[in-house]
Amino acid sequence: MPSKKEALLSVMNDEEKFHAVAQKAFSDVDQDGSGKLDKSEMKNCLAIFNKDLDIPAPSDETVEKYIGILDEGDGDGMVSIDEFKILLKAMMEVNLMMIEMEEDE
């Protein structure tokens, strides 16, 4: 069984795997099936990411900032799958850095 680091690198370095993981994660948080994440869905998504990183759930203001940063495609105030992939890639990189920091301890 691969280590957490190996599994993460495997997904990050394989475009097909990354797309599949992103699609599954996006579908899991797109509760209304609209194909876009609204503020409530993004808040839930970020709360899950934050829990994995052992940090508190985000405030509404923080969620709005994330949406503002990610919503660069059409400016509709919602996050599409392509915009979501940017966040997912960044969160994977953060997780990888944390794993590597733990290895160095």
CATH number of the CATH domain containing 90: 1.10.238.10
Look up the domain containing 35 and give its range.
Answer: 4-104
Q: What is the pLDDT at residue 27?
A: 96
Domain total of the chain: 1
Two structure tokens written together for 57: 């759930």
Instruction: Please determine, for residue 105, whether its predicted confidence score (pLDDT) is greater than 90.
Output: no
Instruction: Please determine, for residue 53, whether its predicted confidence score (pLDDT) is greater than 80.
Output: no
Contact 54, 79 (CB under 8 A): no
Two structure tokens written together for 77: 């105030």
For 77-102, the pLDDT digits (tens) are: 999 999 999 999 998 998 899 888 88
pTM, rounded to two decimals: 0.86
